[in-house]
Amino acid sequence: MLFCVSGFQLYLFYLRHRYTPH
């Protein structure tokens, strides 16, 4: 279960970097 949570965090992190003009 912890792995799924980690993957979800990474997914949000990826989307965050993808939608930021940084």
Q: Tens of pLDDT along the chain (22 residues)?
A: 666 678 889 999 999 988 766 5
Q: Which of 22, 17, 19 is nearest to 9 (CA)?
A: 17
pTM (predicted TM-score): 0.39
> Strands, E, within the chain: which ranges?
none
Q: What is the pLDDT of residue 22?
A: 59
Tokens at 4, concatenated? 């799924």
Q: What is the pLDDT of residue 3?
A: 66
Q: What is the pLDDT of residue 19?
A: 74
**Cα 16 to the center of its chain, rounded Å:** 7
Q: What is the pLDDT of residue 17?
A: 85
Q: What is the pLDDT of residue 2?
A: 65
Tokens at 16, concatenated? 């965050």
